[in-house]
């Protein structure tokens, strides 16, 4: 099993990552021809293994290996193949490669899994393209709302419905349902931080996924003025106002962490380079986004109130106006302790004891958990961060995690096959 797992992991990653818009890094936008081409790679490999392949109306891909008990809830394993712009080789793709490697291991060993094993490849997980969370997985679960189909993709301005139809999907059928019935979902994914790399550990089990609160198109409206002629007390400087907000929120973040709350605050985009901005001008406008995350809904609500309170103070002090724009949120999700325990038991048979940890990023596993599924994640050691061309992952780590899944659901007790 060891060889087929490693070979499958490397082959899938090579084939998928050969499909991208021009670099640096890898770019496969949500509901794009590139994302569709990556899905066809998986379809072709799944058919070659003898799996039964189908797509739903939202174009999620499911490749099924029949199990011994066809009436029991299936085990879905997978992730997504879209990327952020100029992202890395492993975010999403590693989970799909791992799912294919698990299926290949069962086929190569001649074993029948205890229940149907479904390699699950979702669409449009990366919400940088559309301001909607977990589009593909929520489409599969019939949990998207009609208004969300009118969300516009960041690079084209066309609606989600338009892009879905262009790739062969059917938005109306997604809305009609029915969605997938509750089952089990395991998502393999690179950690999006340095914890496992710093600890020298290949993989970990994820206990929960943080929720998020985002203002994606916030703006500050000040007053343009001459940099030498405008007195300090009369200025409405958008850049100084933004600096005030960043400093204030950083102090609040530190205070909340000291009090034991889970929290992350990020100002991920700052836009000021327009033709109006110039060397000798007081800046009268600035755009930005803010991303606040926590595993506690009440903490997110507190931080939203704190953000708005700080803005009110700055507006009064700086004589300008903030417009936060539309709010988008994703719900925090506890993941399945029983599935984590099963994987931990499989790992123990291999002499491993993966740690438990929290996910700071949002993932499809959260959408499945929110729909009543048993859902869990396995994090893989990663270096140089995530959502950038330098993402690092050792395929051997992914192979070890797949072997733990095989030990947990197979008859071979983790022995090579």
- Residues forming the annotated binding site? 80, 91, 126, 189, 387
Is 189 within 8 Å of 95 (Cβ atoms)? yes
Supply 60's token pair: 């999620």
Q: Are 381 and 192 in contact (CB under 8 A)?
A: no
What DSSP line would sit under 58-105, residue for residue? T--EEEEE--SBTTSPPEEEEEE----TTB-SSTTHHHHHHHHHHHHH
Q: How many whole angstroms separate alpha carbon 369 and alpha carbon 354?
A: 21
Report CA 366 to chain centroid distance, whole Å. 10
DSSP 162-212: HHHHHTT--HHHHHH-PPPPS-EEEEEEE-SSSHHHHHT-SEEEEEEE-EE
Helices (H), 259-394: 297-318, 337-349, 364-370
Residue 179's CB is within 10 A of a number of other CB atoms, namely: 16
Chain-centre distance for alpha carbon 216: 16
Residue set of the binding site for Zn(2+):
80, 91, 126, 189, 387
């Amino acid at each position: 099993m060891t060889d087929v797992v490693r070979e499958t992991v490397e082959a899938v990653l090579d084939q998928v990552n050969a499909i991208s818009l021009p670099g640096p890094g890898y770019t496969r936008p949500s509901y794009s021809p590139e994302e569709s081409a990556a899905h066809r790679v998986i379809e072709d490999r799944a058919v070659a293994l003898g799996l039964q392949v189908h797509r739903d109306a939202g174009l999620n891909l499911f490749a099924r290996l029949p199990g011994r008990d066809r009436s029991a809830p299936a085990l879905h394993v997978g992730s997504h193949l879209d990327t952020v712009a100029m992202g890395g080789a492993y975010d999403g793709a590693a989970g799909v490669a791992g799912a294919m490697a698990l299926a290949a291991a069962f086929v190569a060993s001649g074993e029948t899994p205890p229940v149907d094993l479904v390699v699950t490849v979702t669409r449009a997980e990366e919400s940088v393209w559309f301001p909607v969370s977990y589009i593909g997985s929520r489409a599969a679960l019939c949990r998207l709302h009609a208004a969300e189909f009118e969300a516009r993709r960041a690079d084209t301005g066309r609606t989600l419905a338009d892009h879905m139809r262009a790739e062969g999907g059917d938005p109306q059928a997604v809305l009609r349902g029915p969605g997938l019935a509750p089952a089990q979902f395991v998502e393999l994914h690179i950690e999006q931080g340095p914890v496992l790399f710093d600890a020298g550990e290949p993989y970990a089990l994820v206990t929960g996924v943080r929720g998020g609160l985002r203002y994606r198109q916030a703006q500050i409206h000040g007053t343009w003025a001459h940099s030498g002629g405008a007195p300090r007390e009369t200025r409405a400087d958008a850049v100084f106002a933004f600096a005030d907000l960043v400093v204030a929120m950083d102090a609040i973040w530190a205070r909340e962490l000291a009090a034991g709350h889970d929290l992350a605050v990020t100002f991920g985009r700052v836009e000021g380079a327009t033709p109006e901005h110039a060397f000798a001008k007081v800046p009268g406008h600035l755009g930005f986004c803010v991303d606040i995350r926590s595993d506690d809904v009440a903490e997110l609500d507190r931080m939203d109130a704190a953000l708005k309170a700080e803005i009110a103070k700055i507006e009064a002090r700086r004589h300008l106006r903030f417009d936060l724009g539309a709010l988008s949120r994703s719900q925090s999700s506890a993941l399945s302790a029983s599935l984590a325990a099963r994987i931990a038991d499989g790992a123990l048979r291999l002499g491993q004891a993966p740690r438990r940890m929290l996910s700071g990023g949002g993932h499809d596993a959260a959408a499945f958990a929110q729909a009543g599924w048993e859902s869990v994640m396995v994090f893989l050691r990663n270096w140089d961060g995530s959502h950038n061309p330098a993402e690092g992952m050792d395929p051997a780590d992914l192979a070890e995690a797949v072997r733990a899944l095989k030990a947990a659901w197979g008859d071979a007790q983790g022995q090579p096959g």
